[in-house]
Structure 1
Amino acid sequence: MDLYLASASPRRRELLAQIGVQFERIAAPVDETPLLNEDPHGYVLRLARAKAQAGWLAMLAANLPPHPVLAADTTVVLDGEILGKPDDETHAAAMLKQLSGSTHLVLTALAIAEQDRVETVLSESRVTFMPLSDAQIARYVASGEPMDKAGAYGIQGQGGLFVSHLEGSFTGVVGLPLHETAQLLARYGLGALA
C-alpha cells in the first residue's frame, strides 16, 4: 500500500487505481461550509488540507500503519459564487439553470499529509455549458446524478452531454486531476513519476 485516500468518492478511487496507486480508503469527515467572504481558491485548498489532516489523525487514532494521506476537494464557481453539492432536487435544478449557456470554473485542490508536512496543488478548468431547457434540467435532476456532485452535474456521466467546451483537465472536473495528482505523489516518492 502506498497511501490512504481520505475520500468517499467512487470516482476518485477509480482514477487513483487507474494510475496504479495502491491505497486504502480512510474516513475523514470535515465541515464543508464556506467561511464568510472566503475566496473559492482558498476554500478548496483549505478543505483539501483539512481532509488530509483529518485522515492523518484518523489513521493515528486507529493505530493503522503510517502512510501519507491524500485528500481532494472540488467546487464549481460561477461569477465568483461557490456552487457546492445541491441540498435537494429544487436546489440542483436552480444550479443547472445558473450554469446553462455559461462558462464556469471547476477547482479541484489536492493535499497530502504526512506527520506535520502538508503539500497542496490546485487544478483549475473552465467548462462551458450549452443552453439547457427546463425539460432537459428536469430529466437530468430526475436521474439522480446531480445530487452528490459540486455544481449539480457529473461530467463523466449524463452531465457530460451539457458540456460544449472544456479548457483544462477532464479528470480535474471529475474530481482527481491525474497530472497534478502524479506530480504531488512524486514529491513523496510515490506513483509512476517518482
Structure 2
Amino acid sequence: MLYLASQSPRRRQLLEQIGVAFTPLDVDVPEQRAAGESPVEYVSRVARDKARAGVAGVGNGAVVLSADTEVVLDDEVFGKPADAADATAMLRKLSGRTHETISVVWAVQGERAQSETCVSRVRFASLSDEDIAAYVASGEPFGRAGAYAIQGRGATLIEHLEGSFTGVMGLPVFETARLLRRFGITPG
C-alpha cells in the first residue's frame, strides 16, 4: 500500500498520470529553514519530515511517499507567497534571471528511507511591472513556490528550462518512478 503525504493536487495528478495507486495523507510539518542549512538540505529535510509524519500515522508496513519543492535564487529560498505584495516581490527578483527549482522525493517504509533529488534551472524572461501585476491578479501565484506555476499561465514567463518540467511542478516523475521501483512499486 502506497500513501502520498502531500496536500498538493499537482503531486496527486502526477502520480495518477504515471499509473500509481495511492491513498493521500494530510500531514503538517514546519517549513522553516534552519540557520546554516543549505537549500538542498532544507528541501530534503522537509520532504523527509513529511514522509516520517505519514508513517507515524499509518504504521511501518506501508510505503509513504512525500516531496518538497522550492525555488532558489542566490541562496534565497522562495516558498509560497504570503500575499500579493510577496508574490510581486518574488516575481520581480526572478525577472530576467535564472534560478534553481529543487525537488526532493522521499519514500519511507518502517526504518527504510530513501530519496531522490532533482534540480532544474529555470530562466525567466524580463518582466514588466504590468506583466507581473497581471499574473498576480490571475491568482495563480498563490500556493506555489516562487509564486509561479510552470504548468499554467506561468509558462508564459519562462524563457528556458533545463531539467525536469514535472520537477518544477512539484514531483519529478522520472526520479519518483525510480524511487518507487526500489520499494517494489512499479508505475504504469
Taking structure 2 as the reference length, the TM-score comes to 0.97
- The runs of at least 4 aligned residues of structure 1 exceeding 4 Å deviation read none
1:30 equivalenced with 2:29 (yes/no)? yes
1:120 equivalenced with 2:115 (yes/no)? yes
Counterpart in the other structure of 2:99: 104
1:79 equivalenced with 2:74 (yes/no)? yes
Q: Can you list the C-alpha shifts for 1:53-91, whole angstroms capped at 9, x where unaligned?
A: 00111113xxxx942000000000001111111111100
Which SS does the other structure have where 1:55 is aligned?
helix
The two structures, once aligned, show a CA RMSD in angstroms of: 1.2
Q: Can you list the C-alpha shifts for 1:151-177, whole angstroms capped at 9, x where unaligned?
A: 000000101110110000000000010
Amino acid in structure 1 at the alignment position of 2:30: D
Q: Of residues 151, 155, 164 in structure 2, which corresponds to 1:160?
A: 155
Judge conservation of contact 1:105–1:127 (CA < 8 Å) in 2: yes
- The Cα of 1:37 is off from its aligned counterpart by 2.4
1:67 equivalenced with 2:87 (yes/no)? no
Which SS does the other structure have where 1:29 is aligned?
coil
Judge conservation of contact 1:26–1:59 (CA < 8 Å) in 2: no
Which SS does the other structure have where 1:131 is aligned?
coil
Amino acid in structure 2 at the alignment position of 1:130: A
Judge conservation of contact 2:61–2:110 (CA < 8 Å) in 1: no
Amino acid in structure 1 at the alignment position of 2:23: E
Distance 1:129 1:186 in 2: 34
Q: Can you list the C-alpha shifts for 1:135-188, whole angstroms capped at 9, x where unaligned?
A: 110111111111100000000010111011000000000001010001000100
- The Cα of 1:45 is off from its aligned counterpart by 0.6
Listed as ranges, the gaps of 5+ residues in structure 2 are none
Amino acid in structure 2 at the alignment position of 1:45: S
Distance 1:33 1:66 in 2: 29
Counterpart in the other structure of 1:151: 146
Which SS does the other structure have where 1:147 is aligned?
coil
Listed as ranges, the gaps of 5+ residues in structure 1 are none
- The Cα of 1:116 is off from its aligned counterpart by 1.1
Counterpart in the other structure of 2:87: 92
- The Cα of 1:97 is off from its aligned counterpart by 0.2
Identical-pair percentage: 52
- The Cα of 1:27 is off from its aligned counterpart by 1.3
Counterpart in the other structure of 1:183: 178
Counterpart in the other structure of 2:54: 55
Counterpart in the other structure of 1:44: 43
- The Cα of 1:18 is off from its aligned counterpart by 0.6
Q: How many positions carry a matched residue from both structures? A: 188
